[in-house]
């Protein structure tokens, strides 16, 4: 592993640490609210990674990875962060009381801002990678086959998960379903779609790794 790749991993570890801090939020660490610090560390690490990737073009990812595999890893990292933000928001919603029934509430406003920043970072890194790989083939039949298989795995997992949710909802006693308000359910469904994409990304990178082994 080169020095540039070690630094990339350190930045990713820093981002994971920041994400964990952000997720723990209020009362997360000896009663201290480390949410804002975690968020700052996460976004600091993500932007440092963007700069690092721009500065050391072509050296961040191993040379033997195909362009589509590199893009899959980037997608996995960003989808994991987006899922984390979504779960964080879903956990915050029930605590907002009546505000949770409003389309515009503090939790969703923060989520959209963070999603905007993450998607912007994803586009920047994706564009940089495409430029580095030049005019060569970006995606070929092997990549498409892996992506197709990943899509099927994600769909299958999602179908099982939806069945489990239906059974769980029927099994829940009436008084435990009070948090099931329309806006919370709508957000949970969006989270489910995001989780499906995350599963697809996880399978894709695993498959690339397995085919190399």
- Count of helix runs (H) and strand runs (E) in the chain: 6, 0
Is residue 211 close enough to count as binding another protein by CB under 8 A?
Answer: yes
| Comparison of 101 and 211: residue with beta carbon closer to another protein | 211
Is residue 200 close enough to count as binding another protein by CB under 8 A?
Answer: no
| The only residue of 1, 64, 97, 176 in contact with another protein, by rule CB under 8 A | 64
Is residue 163 close enough to count as binding another protein by CB under 8 A?
Answer: no
Is residue 136 close enough to count as binding another protein by CB under 8 A?
Answer: yes
| Comparison of 109 and 212: residue with beta carbon closer to another protein | 212
Tokens read off for 12:
């990713």
Alpha helices in 139-181 (DSSP H): 141-171
| Angle between the N-to-C axes of helices 67-92 and 106-132, in degrees from 0 to 180, rounded to the nearest 10 | 170
| Comparison of 134 and 182: residue with beta carbon closer to another protein | 134
> Residues near 139 by Cβ (< 8 Å), separated by ≥ 6?
67, 68
Is residue 148 close enough to count as binding another protein by CB under 8 A?
Answer: no
Contact present, 96 and 107 (Cβ < 8 Å): yes
| The only residue of 53, 89, 143, 150 in contact with another protein, by rule CB under 8 A | 143
How long is the chain?
213
| Residue ranges binding another protein (CB under 8 A) | 64-69, 136-138, 140-143, 211-212
């Amino acid at each position: 592993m080169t020095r540039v790749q070690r630094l990339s991993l350190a930045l990713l570890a820093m981002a994971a640490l920041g994400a964990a801090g952000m997720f723990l939020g209020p009362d997360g660490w000896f009663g201290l609210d480390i949410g804002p610090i975690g968020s700052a560390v996460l976004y600091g690490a993500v932007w440092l990674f963007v700069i690092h990737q721009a500065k050391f073009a072509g050296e961040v990812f191993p040379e033997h990875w195909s362009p589509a595999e590199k893009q899959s890893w980037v997608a996995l990292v960003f989808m994991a962060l987006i899922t984390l933000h979504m779960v964080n928001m879903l956990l915050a919603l029930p605590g907002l009381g009546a505000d949770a029934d409003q389309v515009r509430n503090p939790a969703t406003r923060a989520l959209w801002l963070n999603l905007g920043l993450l998607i912007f970072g994803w586009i920047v890194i994706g564009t940089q990678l495409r430029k580095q790989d030049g005019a060569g083939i970006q995606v070929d039949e092997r990549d498409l086959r892996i992506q197709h298989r990943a899509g099927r795995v994600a769909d299958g997992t999602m179908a099982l998960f939806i069945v489990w949710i239906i059974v769980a909802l029927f099994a829940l006693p009436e008084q435990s379903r009070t948090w099931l308000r329309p806006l919370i359910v709508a957000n949970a469904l969006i989270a489910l779609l995001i989780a499906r994409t995350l599963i697809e990304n996880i399978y894709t990178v695993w498959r690339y790794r397995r085919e190399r082994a």
